[in-house]
Chains A and B, each alone.
Chain A
Amino acid sequence: MKNRSLVSIDDFSTKEIIQTLDLAEEFEKNPVQKLLDGKVIATLFFEPSTRTRLSFESAINRLGGKIVGFADSGTSSVSKGETLHDTIKMVSSYSDLIVMRHPVEGSARYASEIASVPVINAGDGANQHPTQTMLDLFSIRKTQGTLDNLNIFMVGDLKYGRTVHSLMMAMSRWNTTFNFIAPEELKMPDEFKLYLENLGLKYYEHTDFTDIISKADIIYMTRVQKERFSDPIEYEKVKNVYVLRNSMLKNTKPSMRILHPLPRVNEINPDVDSNPKAYYFEQALNGVFTRQAILCKLMGIK
């Protein structure tokens, strides 16, 4: 994987994903290893993202690397009208690897073609966010002991949520059964369902939470955002339908875990937090280990 970029999770083969997860496990046991000593990593956040940026910067710091970059394009030369092309050309001569978040879709792929150093996509608009997918995979494998033959429930905004799309595509490599719970307006788009059908994988669609979740190995919650609805009345109708409460978890499997890419608003009631099945905060911590692993893999260090 040395000198390759990670723009979409599909850029990694199944074997490479597993190797990266294995390495992330090593970092979980021993997070402070000065493997990036003397290396400079650029973190270019053309739009703000606190969680992703801090998690990357924490990963780089624990590996002993140095960081250059910006946390918002207002403080960079982009505000003077510089093109992405020129920014990337310049930054790739100042750094050994570029971590980039940009609101324009496809910007990361484009940057990876211009840069002379590897590029990690930390989110390009509504398109891809592969390091989130990698940490989701890590969390699923860690809590279930395997990635094979699981039953995954995805809940909330399945239409616009890029994290669920990427996770669905990635998990389709391991014979996953999918259950989609979403309001009519935010259903999983046809192109993704067609993708599963072509692979011969099973999926089921529901419009509300029922006892069906007793079959779940993983419940992946997402935020239903008000701005996604053209009709505000429709939002008011559904906003409380997709809320997970502790009382609903009674009949779920003991091994079941609840994931959420965060930030959460009201879709997981705080009474779930103390339930051992709640895993979303550990999931966020796993982001540091998986990003350490991805950095080392692309730099050819491990």
Chain B
Amino acid sequence: MEEPKQLSVSAIENGTVIDHIPAKNLFKVIQILGLDRFDNQITFGTNLESKKLGKKAIIKIAGKFFEDADINRIALVAPDAKLNIIRDYEVVEKKVVEVPDFITGIAKCMNPKCITNYEQVKTRFRVVSKKNVALKCHYCEKITTQENLQII
């Protein structure tokens, strides 16, 4: 017997639910997607129990449907995130995020001698490994690995 599902955060009529965000990265996701500047109704819950992640966070954005390229930007901080697209209270589509081939302006280059750490230059990386994320800086050509990854 399956337990009846309980929603920890109230349901939305139309929009996007982003689930399985690691709780500690919730605010990074909000920042990357620029949700702090949205006028839409947004609810989020954090430190929710998750078998997979320990503690997870969930975000519900009413009336917003993301382009894949936009949503993939969160893959660096929420690689297991799942998206539920809601229309008329029903999940009409499920999506997972994918690490994109190129990343602009999200991560910091770990090389202290890189120009992006000297002047106001938007960082740009080519993703050289997606599993254990490794980013090659477009400018200094040095590799930033997952362990050294800092979100700007």
Q: Is B141 an interface residue (CB 8 A)?
A: yes
User: Is B118 within 8 A of A104, CB to CB?
Assistant: yes
A121 to chain B, nearest CB (A): 12
User: Is A84 within 8 A of B141, CB to CB?
Assistant: no
Q: Is B24 an interface residue (CB 8 A)?
A: no
Q: Is B75 an interface residue (CB 8 A)?
A: no
B115 to chain A, nearest CB (A): 4
**A191: nearest chain-B partner, CB-CB:** B143
User: Could you say which interface size class chain A belongs to?
Assistant: 10 to 19
B14 to chain A, nearest CB (A): 41
* Cα–Cα, bound, A83→B114 (Å): 14
User: Is A105 within 8 A of B113, CB to CB?
Assistant: yes
User: Is B119 within 8 A of A126, CB to CB?
Assistant: no
B116 to chain A, nearest CB (A): 7
Q: Is A85 an interface residue (CB 8 A)?
A: yes
Q: Is A65 an interface residue (CB 8 A)?
A: no
B115 interface neighbour in A84, A126, A128, Cβ under 8 Å:
A84
- The segment out of B54-62, B64-72, B132-140 that lies at the interface is B132-140
* Cα–Cα, bound, A85→B121 (Å): 9
User: Is B119 within 8 A of A105, CB to CB?
Assistant: no
B145 to chain A, nearest CB (A): 11
Given known A-B contacts A84-B119, A85-B119, A110-B121, A105 and B138 have beta carbons under 8 A apart? no
Residue among B114, B119, B139 with the highest chain A CB neighbour number at 10 A: B139
Given known A-B contacts A125-B113, A126-B113, A106 and B119 have beta carbons under 8 A apart? no
**A128: nearest chain-B partner, CB-CB:** B141
Given known A-B contacts A83-B119, A84-B119, A85-B119, A106 and B114 have beta carbons under 8 A apart? yes
A84: chain B residues within 8 A (beta carbon): 115, 118-119
B119: chain A residues within 8 A (beta carbon): 83-85, 110
Q: Is A8 an interface residue (CB 8 A)?
A: yes
B115: chain A residues within 8 A (beta carbon): 84, 104-107, 109-110
* Cα–Cα, bound, A147→B140 (Å): 28
* Cα–Cα, bound, A105→B119 (Å): 12
A107: chain B residues within 8 A (beta carbon): 115, 118, 139
Residue among A85, A103, A107 with the highest chain B CB neighbour number at 10 A: A107
B94: chain A residues within 8 A (beta carbon): none
B31: chain A residues within 8 A (beta carbon): none
Given known A-B contacts A83-B119, A84-B115, A85-B119, A106 and B140 have beta carbons under 8 A apart? yes
Q: Is A290 an interface residue (CB 8 A)?
A: no
* Cα–Cα, bound, A125→B120 (Å): 19
**B118: nearest chain-A partner, CB-CB:** A104
**A114: nearest chain-B partner, CB-CB:** B121
B117-152 residues with Cβ-Cβ distance < 8 A to A are 118-121, 137-143
Q: Is B111 an interface residue (CB 8 A)?
A: yes
**B141: nearest chain-A partner, CB-CB:** A127
Given known A-B contacts A83-B119, A85-B119, A109-B138, A104 and B143 have beta carbons under 8 A apart? no
For A120-135 the 0/1 string (1 means CB < 8 A from B) is 0000111110000000
A106: chain B residues within 8 A (beta carbon): 109, 114-116, 137-141
Closest CB pairs A-B (n = 4): A106-B139, A106-B140, A105-B140, A106-B115
Q: A104-B114, A109-B139 are in contact. List 16 more A-B contacts (CB 8 A).
A: A83-B119, A84-B119, A104-B113, A104-B115, A105-B139, A106-B109, A106-B114, A106-B115, A106-B137, A107-B115, A107-B118, A109-B115, A109-B138, A110-B119, A110-B121, A110-B139
